Chain A
Amino acid sequence: MPGKTSRARAVVAVWPDAIHHALKSQGVRQVSYVPDAGHKRLIELCHADKDMTVVPLTTEEEGIGLAAGAWLGGERAALLMQSSGVGNCVNALTLAANCAFPLLALVTMRGERGELNPWQIPMGQAAPDALRLMGVRTMRLGRAEEAGATVAAAAKLAFEGHGAVAVLISQAMIGVKSFGDKP
């Protein structure tokens, strides 16, 4: 069924656009990130958006502080990272836990499906539990067509439920970094 396949490809290609739209519609004004290939298009969309202040970070925990400061000042922030960055955030997450600062993190998963870099596996596998141990609610995004709705729901949970929420974007949805390996 070529029609269905091309439609599926189109959905896969635009899911970062759907996330960008969801962030905008939820009033997110500050977007911080440590880059991941899975966030490449979303990062570009945010940089191109004049209504968003985009803050590249040196380490993911900076984004927790930034989001807390933004909220003190009346703005909503989102934090983009890959799963290896979750470990860098652990102590900073006390801000969310103690102060009920909203946090919206979008985490692209490594080390869970078809990973070709074994060094990504320990933190990738531990990332969901590490987040939950620190009181972060996790939502799984595994289907491209659900990207917009899932991120919008996560934003509501964070900003209206005054909590820390991480959307875990499945590696199966992003694809596997190849390192030139033959399958």
Chain B
Amino acid sequence: MRSAELDRRKVVRSLLERRGALLVVAGLGSAAWDCTAAGDHPLTFPLWGAMGSACMMGLGLALAQPKRRVLVVTGDGEMLMGLGSLATVGVQRPANLAVVVLDNERYGETGMQKTHTAYGVDLGAIARACGFEARIVRKSAEIAAMRSGVYRGRGPLFYQVKVTPETLPLALPPRDGAYLKQRFREALLGGKSTA
């Protein structure tokens, strides 16, 4: 196994700067903190629970908004809990959906225990077998191509980004789920958000 050199916060900042009309769902834990560190945004829905649901929320959003790009940013542990959702996305094949898994091979919120990817389980191969265009990202030089895929590539796309396992300062989004939901709908749907 090669050691991971990528800094997860820099990776996410690179994806979310100049984000235009991008819609984002962030999986619980470090992935949500990374997105918040890049700038809290009404069109980012950060999860604080419902582990394993990020990819499916991205799918529901992508199907509802086929003209907008949808990005799911999550961790390897969260993705592992919802592996079946990769198969479900594979049936729908939404062209506007990208899933970025920040893979530090650890459960970062619970004591840095190893996840299945640390033992060699290949998330990218699983996603590819489900019908995603799947890539692994290990180097800074590969981030630009990933960003291009997220904003312009034909989905469903899956990027497994090998990042350094480290505990970073918390960057917490708002905790009120009803607020997070409504601000997202207002920003996206405007006057129809209360319908």
Residues of A within 8 A of B88 (CB): 55-58, 62
Q: A65-B53, A72-B181 are in contact. Are A59 and B61 (CB under 8 A)?
A: no
Contact partner of B84 (CB less than 8 A), chosen from A55, A62, A100, is A62
CB of A68 within 8 A of chain B? yes
A178 at the interface (CB under 8 A from B): no
Within 8 Å CB of A6, what residues of B? none
Nearest-Cβ distance from residue A87 to partner chain B, whole angstroms: 15
Q: A99: CB under 8 A from chain B?
A: yes
Q: What chain B residues lie within 8 Å of A68 (beta carbons)?
A: 53, 57, 60, 181
**Is A94 a contact of B50 with CB atoms below 8 Å?**
yes
A98 vs B195: C-alpha distance when bound (angstroms):
20
In this assembly, does B184 line the interface, its C-beta being within 8 Å of a C-beta of chain A? yes
What number of residue pairs across chains A and B have CB atoms under 8 A from each other?
Answer: 122
How many angstroms between the C-alpha atoms of A39 and B13 in the bound complex?
45
Q: A30-B60, A94-B50, A100-B178 are in contact. Are A62 and B185 (CB under 8 A)?
A: no
User: Do A73 and B84 form a contact, CB below 8 Å, given A66-B60, A68-B57?
Assistant: no
Chain B residues lying within 8 Å of A100, measured Cβ to Cβ, are 177-178, 181
Q: Indicate which residue in B59, B84, B177, B178 contacts A69 across the interface (CB closer than 8 Å).
A: B59
Question: Is B58 part of the binding interface, using a Cβ–Cβ cutoff of 8 Å?
Answer: yes
Verify B45–A92 contact, CB threshold 8 A. no
B38 at the interface (CB under 8 A from A): no
CB interface residues, A 62-78, toward B, < 8 Å: 62-75, 77
Task: Please encode chain B, from 55 to 99, with 1 for each CB lying within 8 Å of some chain A CB and 0 for all others.
Answer: 111111111110000000000000000101101100110000000
Residue of A nearest to B180 (CB): A99
Report the Cα distance A58→B51, complex, angstroms.
16
Residue from A30, A55, A63 with most neighbouring chain B CB atoms (10 Å): A55
Contact with B along A69-111 (1 / 0, CB 8 A): 1111111010000000000000110110011110000000000
A20 at interface by CB-CB < 8 Å: no
B84 touches A65 (CB 8 A): no
How far apart sit A59 and B83, CA to CA, in the bound complex (Å)?
10
**Would B60 and A57 count as touching, CB distance under 8 A?**
no
Q: Specify which chain B residues have a CB less than 8 angstroms from the CB of A70 in the assembled complex.
A: 60-61, 63-64
- Complex CA gap A56/B189 in Å reads 27
Interface residues of B in 149-195 (CB under 8 A from A): 177-178, 180-181, 184-185, 188-189, 192-193
Given contacts A64-B53, A75-B64, A100-B178, contact A58 B85 (CB under 8 A): yes
Q: Which of B85, B91, B92, B181 contacts A71 (CB 8 A)?
A: B181
Per the bound structure, the CA–CA distance linking A99 and B50 in Å amounts to: 11
8 Å CB contact of A72 from B45, B51, B87, B192: B45
* Complex contact A55–B178 (CB within 8 A): no
Q: Does the CB pair B53–A55 fall under 8 Å?
A: no
Are A53 and B65 neighbours in the complex by a CB distance under 8 Å?
no
B192 / chain A contacts, CB cutoff of 8 Å:
74
Q: Kindly identify, within residues 101 to 143 of chain A, every residue whose CB is under 8 Å from any CB belonging to chain B.
A: 101
- Across the A-B interface, give the 3 residue pairs with the lowest CB-CB distance, nearest first: A69-B60, A73-B64, A65-B56
Given contacts A72-B188, A77-B60, 4 further A-B contacts (CB under 8 A): A30-B60, A58-B87, A64-B56, A69-B64
Q: Give residues in A with beta carbon < 8 Å to B.
A: 29-30, 53, 55-59, 61-75, 77, 91-92, 94-95, 98-101
